[in-house]
Amino acid sequence: MTKKILIVSKERGLAQFTSMELQKIEFLVDVVDDGTSGLTFLGERDYDLILVDFVLTDMTSKAFAEQLSLLKPASVLIVIADREEAEKHQEIIGQYAVAIAIRPLIMEELIDQIHRIFRGREFIDQHCQFIQTRTSFKDLRIDTENHTVFRGDEQILLTRREYDLLATLMSQGKPLTREQLLEQVWKYESATETNVVDVYIRYLRSKIDRPNQPSYIETVRGVGYAMQMV
């Protein structure tokens, strides 16, 4: 199936050039100038990936991602001005984006990065097809068709990164090292030098766990993380 990409960027000329290059390899691409327009498009149609400027004209990319999470789970790739800025904000970006692209964009590298993201999503989705039959996890369940998560009857609103991390842990049914999680969930090399996995586990726990109850995600000393399987 042809992949659909939305570009949200104030740099109209660069966005149009990127769109044409992506269309040459048979992606379907739409381009909008600001976050509000992007959210309108996303409310009306589905996209496999969203390329978003770190700085938009009408909102931050973080605010965009937070509003997007109320609409639907989606994969966000942040386009940022330079490597120094990316490293400065890496932990924040890691909360809502699956990858970072640094300007000036080298088209061959961007296309390769996009392909890696899609391959990673296919890997996770293939494993998640077996979640409901392979695992029973108290009252926590994943709707793999709609990429949503429920605890009991309550839907837990997760970003796409949070969903991917939870789905990966549940689909494996065994402890995973930080390196394995970085490889399977994160797609940009700079993340290997940070504590982004530990930070992101903390964010995920804050959403799926309940006060005064054991965490659903176990820290396996000397290894990494695993679900507290029943």
Q: Which residue has the tokens 């507290």?
A: 228
Name the fold adopted by 4-117.
Rossmann fold (3.40.50)
Q: What is the C-alpha to C-alpha distance for residues 96 and 54, in angstroms, rounded to an integer?
A: 12
| pLDDT band per the 50, 70, 90 thresholds, residue 96 | confident
pLDDT of 25 higher than 80: yes
Enumerate the domain spans of the chain: 4-117, 121-227
Task: State pTM to two decimals.
Answer: 0.62
Average pLDDT, the chain: 83
Please tell me the predicted confidence (pLDDT) of residue 201: 92
pLDDT digits (tens, 9 = 90+) for 127-160: 444 444 344 467 888 877 667 788 888 888 887 7
Relative orientation angle of helices 196-208 and 160-172, to the nearest 10 degrees: 90
Q: State which CATH number among 3.20.20.70, 1.10.10.10, 3.30.1330.40, 1.10.443.10 fits the domain covering 121-227.
A: 1.10.10.10
Residue at 54: amino acid letter: F
Residue positions counted in the chain:
230
Kindly state the average pLDDT of the residues 175-191. Answer: 75
- Indicate the burial class of 123 (C-beta count within 10 angstroms; 0-12, 13-18, 19 or more): middle
- Of 1-15, 65-79, 167-181, 184-198, the one with minimum mean pLDDT is 184-198
In terms of Cα–Cα distance, which of 72, 51, 35 is closest to 147? 72
